[in-house]
């Protein structure tokens, strides 16, 4: 079957040919005719099978006739991440090059005023993330009553990121008479219930078992042994193994996944120090313009090693990616499927290697149970205990010193090194002991005089009683210390309160 058999126009077929595609994927072959007929779709297919084109192509065909009104888009595509939204926008530019359709991107991290200006001109296709869409809608700059086609892409990721309440609000603003397309790589029960609410008599399309990886991906697992339980030593050993794997595999381009954003920075700096000049990083805390620029360099080949969090695990289509390295084993088995799905796309071969420590055993078991087969152990595991990492791998900590350490309290010693802080602390401790020692002796004197003596000593009436020569700094005086011999409080005593006057009822306390 070819694209010409799916009922697409000549302009669209020409754009597809210019992009280098000739035959549709299974999900495209099944979904495109159904969407052209206006039927709701519930599509489930493993990542890398061409789900994006299965809804962008028929949408362009449907929207070819007609004109959009200001602030009233004719179709809406919801994406969980900014990168996915930008990628869908790129698909519309590629496939819609021979059509006069306007599309707008409504995502966070970009200038909202510019996005609103684009909406006021009228757009045929609005591609948005739920959060920014609701923000613009609540400000009164967007109307959704003219939407004819709704696409909810990566629905399972929407669920994981907590976007489902926003999606429900958005759907409630749309007209009832519309075509709704819901696509997901996995189909948990929550997504099935969501589809029952949003879709009307949908055509269910499942081209592969949910949550499975492509057969073209070779999967391996490297076990880290002999690193002990110290997290710092384990992290250093993992970085060492990662570099050995890169040297052995010589990937054309690769994504290195980490579970935490701070580990992304550490692994990136480690690779940079060891001479990998074409490495870059990507995570959610980066400015959106920098994220898009990094992805652009990775697609163009200027960056060959991309260290990132799961922000790049869903839907990103990088042509001919050769390798995926899991520096950390994902805690959710579904995330593993999405991560390794960045390679082995469109029938190409790919390699996915995961680095695991003994504590990752339960996660590895869950992944193998979901995949229905064990992951082959890599021979690198036998050499995991050899070699040692260098100090260059240690994460760079922000130095706090100089003028910033001249604050009060503990902040005074922040800028000092260990060699200076210890003598200063010892000197302070010695001064404290010197000040408190006389006070302790004076406090012990009454206890000694209270003890019965066999022979009373002769008192010298002409010599005044000795008093302690030193008092402890900031010594707390208890209630008993303020009483005179009669057991009452004197006006001359220190008053604890907010006034210099002592209430009458306190004098006889």
pLDDT of residue 486: 45
| Residue at a domain's end among 149, 175, 206 | 206
Residue 484 lies in a domain: no
Q: Give the predicted TM-score (pTM) of the model.
A: 0.61
Digit-coded pLDDT (tens) for 91-131 = 999 999 999 899 999 998 888 999 999 999 999 999 999 99
User: What are the DSSP calls for 130-180, one per residue?
Assistant: HHHHHHHHHTT----TT--EEEE-SHHHHHHTT-HHHHHHHHHTS-SS-EE
Say what the pLDDT of residue 370 is: 85
> Is residue 201 domain-shared with residue 265, that is, in the same domain?
no
pLDDT, mean of residues 16-22: 89
Pick from 54-58, 97-101, 228-232, 244-248: least confident:
228-232
Comparing CA positions, the residue from 478, 192, 484, 224 lying closest to residue 360 is: 224
User: What is the number of structural domains in the chain?
Assistant: 2
C-beta separation of 356 from 327 below 8 A:
no
Does a structural domain hold residue 340? yes
- CATH number of the CATH domain containing 314: 3.40.50.300
In a domain, 358, yes or no: yes
Q: Which among 178, 206, 234 is the end of a domain?
A: 206
Confidence at residue 508, expressed as pLDDT on a 0 to 100 scale: 64
- Is there a single domain that holds both residue 188 and residue 228? no
pLDDT of residue 435: 43
User: Which pLDDT score is estimated for 49?
Assistant: 75
Do 266 and 359 lie in a common domain? Answer: yes
| Rounded distance between C-alpha atoms, residue 462 and residue 236, angstroms | 78
Q: Which tens digit of pLDDT belongs to each residue from 163-208?
A: 999 999 999 999 999 999 999 877 888 888 889 999 999 999 988 6
Write out the residue range of the structural domain in which residue 231 sits: 217-393
Residue 482 lies in a domain: no
Question: In this predicted model, which residue has the larger pLDDT, 356 or 422?
Answer: 356
- Share above pLDDT 90 across residues of the chain, in percent, rounded to a whole number: 45
**CA atoms of 306 and 314, how far apart (whole Å):** 15
Q: Tell me what pLDDT residue 420 has.
A: 42
Alpha-carbon gap, residue 143 to 378, rounded angstroms: 55
Element of type H or E holding 26 = helix 26-36
One domain for residues 139 and 282: no
Question: In this predicted structure, which of 41-50, 111-120, 290-299, 455-464 has the lowest mean pLDDT?
Answer: 455-464
Is the domain of 253 the same as that of 306? yes
**Quick one: pLDDT at residue 82?**
87
Query: Do 121 and 96 belong together in one domain?
Result: yes
- The last residue of one of the domains, among 153, 181, 206, is 206
Residues 188 and 236 in one domain: no
Does 336 fall in a domain?
yes
Under the banding of pLDDT at 50, 70 and 90, the label for residue 210 is low
Share of the chain above pLDDT 70, in %: 71
Q: Average pLDDT, whole number, for the chain?
A: 78
Residue 452 pLDDT exceeds 50:
no
Q: Is residue 479 part of a domain?
A: no
Lowest mean pLDDT among 217-221, 253-257, 291-295, 341-345: 341-345
Same domain, yes or no: 173 and 305 = no
Q: What pLDDT sits at residue 50?
A: 82
Tell me the β-bridge partners of 78: 128, 152
Report yes or no on 421 lying in a domain.
no
Examine the domain organization and report whether 275 and 188 are in the same domain: no
Closest CA to 310 of 290, 288, 328, 287: 328
Residues 179 and 302 both lie in one domain: no
Q: Reply yes or no on whether the pLDDT at 382 is more than 80.
A: no
Give a yes or no: residue 401 inside a domain: no
For residues 333 and 222, state if they share a domain. yes
pLDDT, residue 68, reads: 86
* 298 and 338 share one domain: yes
């Amino acid at each position: 079957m070819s694209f010409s058999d799916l009922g697409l126009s000549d302009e669209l077929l020409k754009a597809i040919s210019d992009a280098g595609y000739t035959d549709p994927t299974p999900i495209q072959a099944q979904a495109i005719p159904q969407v052209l007929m206006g039927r709701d779709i519930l599509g489930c297919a493993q990542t890398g099978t061409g789900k994006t084109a299965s809804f962008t192509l028929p949408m362009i065909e449907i929207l070819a006739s007609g004109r959009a009104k200001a602030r009233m888009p004719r179709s809406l595509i919801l994406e969980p991440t900014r990168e996915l939204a930008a990628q869908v926008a790129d698909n519309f530019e590629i496939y819609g090059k021979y059509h006069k359709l306007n599309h707008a991107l409504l995502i966070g991290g970009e200038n909202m005023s510019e996005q609103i200006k684009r909406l006021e001109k009228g757009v045929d296709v609005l591609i948005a993330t739920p959060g920014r869409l609701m923000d613009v809608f609540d400000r009164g700059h967007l109307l959704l009553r003219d939407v004819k086609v709704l696409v909810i892409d990566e629905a399972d990721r929407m669920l994981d990121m907590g976007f489902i309440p926003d999606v429900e609000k958005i759907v409630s603003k749309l007209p009832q008479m519309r075509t709704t397309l819901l696509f997901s790589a996995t189909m948990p029960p929550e997504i099935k219930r969501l589809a029952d609410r949003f879709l009307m008599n949908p055509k269910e399309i499942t081209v592969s078992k949910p949550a499975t990886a492509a057969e073209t991906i070779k999967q391996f697992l490297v076990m880290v042994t002999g690193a002990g339980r110290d997290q710092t030593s384990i992290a250093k050993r993992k970085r060492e193994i990662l570099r050995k794997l890169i040297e052995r595999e010589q990937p054309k381009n690769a994504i290195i996944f980490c579970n935490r954003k701070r580990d992304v920075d550490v692994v990136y700096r480690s690779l940079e120090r060891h001479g990998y000049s074409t490495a870059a990083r990507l995570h959610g805390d980066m400015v959106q313009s920098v994220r898009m620029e990094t992805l652009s360099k990775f697609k163009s080949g200027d960056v060959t090693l991309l260290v990132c969090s799961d922000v790049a695990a869903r839907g990103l289509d990088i042509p001919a990616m050769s390798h995926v390295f899991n520096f950390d084993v994902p805690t959710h088995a579904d995330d593993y499927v999405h991560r390794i799905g960045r390679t082995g796309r469109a029938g190409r071969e790919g390699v996915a290697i995961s680095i695991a420590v003994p504590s990752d055993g339960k996660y590895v078991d869950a992944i193998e149970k979901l995949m229905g087969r064990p992951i082959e152990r890599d021979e690198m595991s036998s050499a995991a205990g050899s070699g040692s990492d260098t100090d260059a791998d240690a994460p760079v900590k922000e130095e706090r010193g100089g003028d910033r350490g001249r604050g009060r309290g503990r902040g005074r010693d922040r800028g000092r090194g260990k060699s200076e802080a210890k003598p200063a602390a010892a000197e302070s401790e010695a001064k404290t002991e010197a000040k408190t020692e006389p006070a302790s002796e004076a406090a012990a004197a009454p206890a000694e005089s209270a003890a019965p003596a066999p022979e009373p000593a002769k008192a010298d009436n002409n010599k005044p009683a000795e008093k302690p020569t030193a008092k402890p700094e900031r010594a707390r005086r208890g209630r008993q210390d303020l009483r005179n011999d009669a057991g009452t409080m004197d006006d001359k005593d220190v008053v604890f309160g907010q006034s210099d006057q002592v209430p009458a009822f306190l004098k006889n306390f």
